[in-house]
Structures are given as structure tokens and as C-alpha cells.
Amino acid sequence: MFLAQTSPAPSRVAALRPSTSSERKQHSWVAAGAPSQRLFSSCSGERTERPASALPSSGATTGALHWTRRSLIQTTLLLAAGCVAGSPALAEKATAEAPAVPRDVRNQLELYVDLQRGYKMYRPKGWNEFDGDPGNTKYEKKFQDIIQPLEFVTVFSIPVKPGKTLASLGDAEAVGKRLAEQRGATLVAANQKESDGILYYVFEYVREPAHQLSLLTINRGRLFSVNACASEARWKRLEKLLRAVVDSFVPQL
């Protein structure tokens, strides 16, 4: 918990090229049914979002303190760099306990920590960052390649009833098959893992022209969904990087 609010620092946003008509025609993956219907990202190439640092400020409450969205974004970036004013212990803890990633893709990634929602992960370096607008049911945070619009990572979460567990949704294979059917996609693999007492389901789907990894987990009363997408044509090139991103997600600081 922070004791003082830090002042937002100036930020830079990489320039985006306009969408092409072919990009706007790319398939959209939207799962139906509750609670999963809001938790799976669209594999759409449309560039209609505004970069996070260009969004108007809106209030967000953390404990008894009032934070603007811009302040939260800037503070998160500072934390990832290990230099949060007034909280060196938290910055050191988050950095020291950063998730492990394969060495051969480590230099392509950088640590991202979301203080507001309480998770950390690695994100691809150089990708644009977006915040979902209020009411956005596809993502709360999105990282997207500047050149390839179909290459992106999204994070979304919703609250669940107390005591709700991932296992109560079914085993990984059953959940993966339901989601594949809802998407009109082919389920390539469905796996589960457990780390520090937290259960994760990881799915791999194919639906032309996209190839996608999806992770589900429940912790602290929230269901988190992490999605990493690339075109089928570039999947082999990006698979190791995107798997490292998805596998690095930890729903706690």
C-alpha cells in the first residue's frame, strides 16, 4: 500500500499506422456464455484503441487514496523499473520475484506490474500499450505490435463469487473444448499447471488466420484471462515469445 501519490511522469506513445481494409476484415474471436463470455480477446487487427497514456484521466481508488488512470499507469511503469518513490521495498520485492522466462527470449521482454489489479507478467518490448475504455469487455490491458496488428497480448479480469475455483468450471480439457466450440476454433492443446498454490489452465487454439494461447486462473476473488495472438503464418516465429509471456503471468504481487 502506497503512503503517498506519485506525480505522473511524461510519457511517449509510438505512432500507429492507419488500419487497412484487409485488417478490419480479420476474424474476431468472442466467447459466449457467462462468466467466460467477457474473458477472451478478439483476434482482430483493428486499431481503434487509444494508447494508454493518451486516455483521459479517470478516478480509481486504492485503499483510502485516490488515483487517476494516468498516475496508475506511470506508477506501474516506475515500479517495473524498480524506482517507485516512497516504496523501495515494494519495488525491490516485485523485481526480485519476477517470473522466470527462457533465456533465449529474455532480452525481448520487460517486466510489467499492474498495481491496481494486483498482477505481474512479462510483456514484449517495443509493443504499444492500450487501456480498455470503460465498458470494454474484451480487455483491460492490451499490448500490440506496431507493425503486425494481429500480434497482441491482452489481459482481462472479472470478479467471481467467494469460494469459486477454477476446478469448479471443469477440467482443462472440458473447459478448452467448450471455449473452442464457442469460438468456432480448433483446440490444439489444453493443459493445467499449479504454482504457489494457484491453478492455471492454458489453451491453444487455431482459427484462420489466427493462432492463440489463452490462460485462465482464479485468485483473490477474480477470474483472470490472458490471451496471446499471432497470425498462423508467423506463429512458429513468435511461439516461444508468446508462450513465455503467457507462462509468466502471476495474479499476485
Q: Is residue 153 part of a domain?
A: yes
- What pLDDT score does 217 carry? 98
Domain that holds residue 79: 50-247
User: 100 in a domain, yes or no?
Assistant: yes
If one counts the domains in the chain, the total is 1
Any domain includes 167: yes
Q: Is 217 within 8 Å of 199 (Cβ atoms)?
A: yes
**Is residue 159 domain-resident?**
yes
Phi-psi region of 239 (alpha: psi -120 to 50; beta: other; left: phi over 0): alpha
Q: Which residue has the cell 517486466?
A: 111
For residue 2, being part of any structural domain is answered with no
What pTM did the predictor assign? 0.66
Which residue's C-alpha cell is 520487460?
A: 110
- pLDDT confidence bin for 145, thresholds 50/70/90: very high
The pLDDT tens digits of the residues spanning 5-17 come to 444 444 443 444 4
Question: Is residue 187 assigned to a domain?
Answer: yes
Residue 141 in domain: yes
Q: Would you state the pLDDT for residue 133? A: 83
Q: Helix or strand or coil: residue 77?
A: helix
Assigned domain for 107 exists: yes
Mean pLDDT of the chain: 74
Provide the β-strand partners of residue 216: 201, 225
What CATH number has the domain bearing residue 142?
3.40.1000.10
Say if residue 62's pLDDT is above 70. no
**Average pLDDT of the residues in 24-51:** 44
Count of beta carbons in the 10 Å neighbourhood of residue 30? 15
Q: Which candidate, 187, 177, 218, places its Cα nearest to that of 200?
A: 218
Q: Locate 116 and state its grid cell.
A: 491496481
